[in-house]
Structure 1
């Protein structure tokens, strides 16, 4: 019974160590904060977060800005520009086959006027996404 408890406790401790906190310094383009020095008193702070919670990422960027301000010995900071980007890309991994219909626009111009017409074109599509 004692060995089962110790094994259970070891699994719990290892699971807690394996998960990384959301707020941390990014390494190799991963999730977390990075900053770059623009001038003696200006820095650019980036925060790349998991998921699509924009407000959480903005809060962490502001938090890092405040930390950086205190580390450099300043009392306050100013946000001069703010940009938020959410990347939601879903890739379908199954093979796809299908037809699509599009309209080609053809404009023919003469001496006096131009005439625009639309012609339907059918396209066969197939793809395997890797």
Structure 2
């Protein structure tokens, strides 16, 4: 994988129901994202970055329970307008930090088919070096 922007574009290309794909480092400082072509985003650029930072913080809080529950594979938030998935990217990126992938889907889509059938297999094959 060449870089985070290309990684996001590759995730976006996995399924037509994917509205948004973004990555952020564990500090929320490095954020890259792409939207589906011709999509009118629900959030402004500032709100998108804020949302990703909040997801990074929530992801970090889950680490405290992983020794008992196992690693978090992904979390799903169902909103009336979209479904949002946050996936911790493992292993850590080359800078030694964990990162997250956030994906939003059309609300009506079968999220299991997209997550388990497309996104997770892609991540297993991807090199997470950006």
How does the TM-score come out when normalised to structure 2?
Answer: 0.25
* Structure ranking higher on relative contact order (CA contacts 8 Å, 6+ apart): 2
Larger proportion of strand: 1
Determine which structure has more spread, i.e. the larger CA radius of gyration: 1
